[in-house]
Structure 1
Amino acid sequence: MRTILFLGLTVAVSCAQALDSNIQNSLGMKFVLIPAGEFVMGSDESSEAMLRHYPQYDHKRFVELSDEGPAHKVRITHPFYFGQYEVTVGEFRRFVDASGYLPESEADGTGGYGYNPDYDPAKSTRGDAFEGRNPKYSWRNPGFPQDDNHPVVNVTWNDAVAMCKWLSKTEGRTYRLPTEAEWEYAGRAGTRTRYYSGDDPQSLLSAANVFDADAAKNWQQWKKFALDGPDGFAFTAPVGSFAPNAFGLYDIHGNAWEWTADWHDERYYAKSPVDDPQGPADGTVRVRRGGSWHTWSFYARSSYRNWNSQDTRYTLVGMRLLREAD
C-alpha cells in the first residue's frame, strides 16, 4: 500500500490489487471507483459569515446548523464503488419487475406525495402545491412528468435497502447505502468549498438542478431564494444533465435527495471516530444528503444534513447506491 496526492486528497493505492475505475451492474447501473483517502468533514462557517453570503435568509436558519460541526478529519480506509448517477426510474423499475418487490408507496395503500398545482395550499403541511400521501402518487407518478432517465423519487429508506439486498443476493456483491462520511467524501471530491463547483451558489446553474428561475415560476412566494437564472428544468432532470465533480459523479447537488445509512444525531461529529465513521448506533430518523430540484441553494451545500423517518416517501427524495470494492 502506498499513498499519493489525488485531487487535493491523501489517497491510498493498493499495489497488489487492480480495480476497474468504472463498472456496470446487471441493471445497467454505472459505478465509479472512489479511492481510499482522508478529508475534512462538516463545516466551520459561523452563522454571521453565512448571513453575509446568503442575505436573503433570516438569521435563525444559520443558528440551527450546529449538527454540521465541528469540522473534523475523516479517513476512508477502503476504496468503494459509488453510483455515477442517482438511481433512475428505469433502473428501479427493472429491480421491481425482476424481484417482485412492492415499494412502500404502493404496499401500504397510503401512496406517496405528489405535485398538484390545483391542490389547496391550506390543506398542505408545507402550505404549497405538494399534496400529502395519496394512493394516486408513488414512485411511478410524483405528479410531474418523468421518463426512465430521471431520478426515481417517492422511495423510502426501506425501499433503498431492499434494492441493495436484492442486488447483493443476485450478483454476489455487497451493495448498500453509503455512510454519511462516504457520501460527503465522494461528493466533495477533494474540495472544501460549499459546493464542488465553488462557494458561489450561482455556480450551481451549471452543476446542479436546484431551485432556480424555472422552478420559481411554480412557487412565486419563494422566488427570492431561487438562483438568478434558469437551469432548464422546473422539476427533475435526466441524470447526468449537469457537470460532474472531479470523481466523475453527477447530481451530487440537487435533482433528488439521497438516503444514507446513518441515523441522525446532531452531536455525533464531536465524538465521531477518525476511521470509517458509521454514524450513531441507533436513532429515530435517517440522514439524507445533497438537496433536490426544489431545494434552495443553501440547503444543497456539501456539509448540509437533513433527515426523515425510514418510511418517508416524497417527491424530492431518491437514492444513490454504493457497491463495496471486494
Structure 2
Amino acid sequence: MRPLTATTAALLFAAGMTSTALHAADAGKPRTWTDPKSGLEFVRVGKACFRMGNDAQLPPEDENGWARVKYKESLSADEAPAHEACLDTYWLGRHEVTRRQWQQVMGSLPDGNAEGADNLPVTRVTWEQARAFTERLSAMNGKRHRFRLPTEAEWEFACRGASPTSLDRDVPANETELQEIAVADIRAPVAPATVGSRKPNAAGFHDLLGNVWEWTADDYAANAYARHSLYNPRHSAGSDTAVIRGGSVRTEFVQTRCTMRGHYPKSDTLRLIGLRIVRED
C-alpha cells in the first residue's frame, strides 16, 4: 500500500474517512515518547474523527446518589447533542501527572500534597496552576515541544480507546468491570491510588476513569456541544468555570463514563482534582 499524501489525508479527514486509511498512514510511527525533563510518558493519538457526546437521557437515582446534588431530570443533559468531532494528531499523557513530576517542573508541591508520595497524582491544583505547569514544561523544552491541557474532545476520544472503531464502551458493563480499569468506588477511602494501578484502556491510557478528576482546556457551558466546530472543537467563552473529566475515586458507578462532564471554578482547588496533559504533534 502506498503511503497517503498530505493532500489525500486531508481529503479523507474532511470526508470523515479516518478509521482505516488514516490509521494505516500512522503505521510505523512512534507510539510513545517520554519527556526527558519531567519523566512524563505520552501516547500518540493519530488524526481521526469520532462520535462525541451522548444523546441518551440517564435518569437520576431515586434515592441518595446524584439526586442529592440536584440532578433531578437527567444525569447526562449536558452531554448532548452527540456530534462528529475531528481531531489532529496529539500526544496525551499515559498517566495523570504525579507529585514527583509536578515537583520536578515547578520546584514545589501545591498546598495539601504530602511529601514522599511520589507516584500519587498531584491534586489540589487550580486550573491556572495546571496551565502554568504546561507553560513551564514548554519553556524547559526550549519550546521545541508545546504542552497544554487537553480539550474535552481529545480527552473523550482517548477515553473511548482512541480509535473510531474501538470496542471500548462509554459505560463499563458493571461495577466489577469498572474496578478492572478505574479506581472509583463511593464506598472506598477518599484517597486516590498510585497512578497506573489499574489496567490500561484499549489505547494504553491509565486512570482516565476514576482516581482524580482531570482539568481540560474547555470552558464549561451546558449547551457547549451545540456550538462545537467539526475540527478540533474547543469551547472558549472566557468563563471562570472549566470542564473536568473522568470522575474520581469517589464517583458513583452510574457517573463513571467517558462522556460525563463535570465543571469547577478555575481559581478553586479540590482534593480530588488533578491533571493530565497534551504534547502537541
The answer, yes or no, to whether TM exceeds 0.5 is yes
The reply on whether 1:251 has 2:238 as its aligned counterpart is no
Given that residues 188 and 249 in structure 2 are in contact (C-alpha distance below 8 angstroms), is that contact kept between their aligned partners in structure 1?
A: no
The residue type equivalent to 1:170 in the other structure is M
Instruction: State the partner residue of 2:77.
Output: 66
> What SS does the aligned partner of 1:12 have?
helix
Call closer, same or farther: CA 1:18–1:194 in 2, change over 3 Å. closer
Normalising by structure 2, we get a TM-score of 0.82
Shift of residue 16 of structure 1? Answer: 9.3
Q: CA RMSD in A?
A: 2.8
Cα distance in 2 between the residues matched to 1:208 and 1:83: 16
Call closer, same or farther: CA 1:270–1:82 in 2, change over 3 Å. same
Shift of residue 317 of structure 1? Answer: 0.2
Cα distance in 2 between the residues matched to 1:10 and 1:201: 33
The reply on whether 1:24 has 2:34 as its aligned counterpart is yes
Unmatched tracts of structure 1, length 5 or more: 106-137, 216-233
The residue type equivalent to 1:205 in the other structure is Q
Per-residue CA deviations over 1:188-220 (Å, capped at 9, x if unaligned) read: 11356333xx332431111111125433xxxxx
Given that residues 212 and 248 in structure 2 are in contact (C-alpha distance below 8 angstroms), is that contact kept between their aligned partners in structure 1?
A: yes
Written as runs of structure 1 = structure 2, the 5 A alignment for 1:227-266 is: 235-266=191-222
Shift of residue 60 of structure 1? Answer: 4.2
Instruction: State the partner residue of 2:96.
Output: 86
Written as runs of structure 1 = structure 2, the 5 A alignment for 1:90-239 is: 90-97=100-107, 138-141=111-114, 147-171=117-141, 172=143, 173-189=145-161, 190-191=166-167, 193-195=169-171, 198-215=172-189, 235-239=191-195
Cα distance in 2 between the residues matched to 1:34 and 1:237: 26
Call closer, same or farther: CA 1:64–1:255 in 2, change over 3 Å. closer
The structure 1 segments of at least 4 consecutive aligned residues displaced by more than 6 Å after TM superposition are none
Cα distance in 1 between the residues matched to 2:56 and 2:27: 40
Shift of residue 281 of structure 1? Answer: 3.1
Unmatched tracts of structure 2, length 5 or more: none
Cα distance in 1 between the residues matched to 2:123 and 2:92: 19
Call closer, same or farther: CA 1:67–1:57 in 2, change over 3 Å. closer
Shift of residue 268 of structure 1? Answer: 1.3
Given that residues 106 and 136 in structure 2 are in contact (C-alpha distance below 8 angstroms), is that contact kept between their aligned partners in structure 1?
A: no
Cα distance in 2 between the residues matched to 1:296 and 1:72: 26
Cα distance in 2 between the residues matched to 1:60 and 1:212: 17
Shift of residue 43 of structure 1? Answer: 1.0
Cα distance in 2 between the residues matched to 1:311 and 1:30: 27
The residue type equivalent to 2:97 in the other structure is V
Percent of aligned positions that are identical: 29
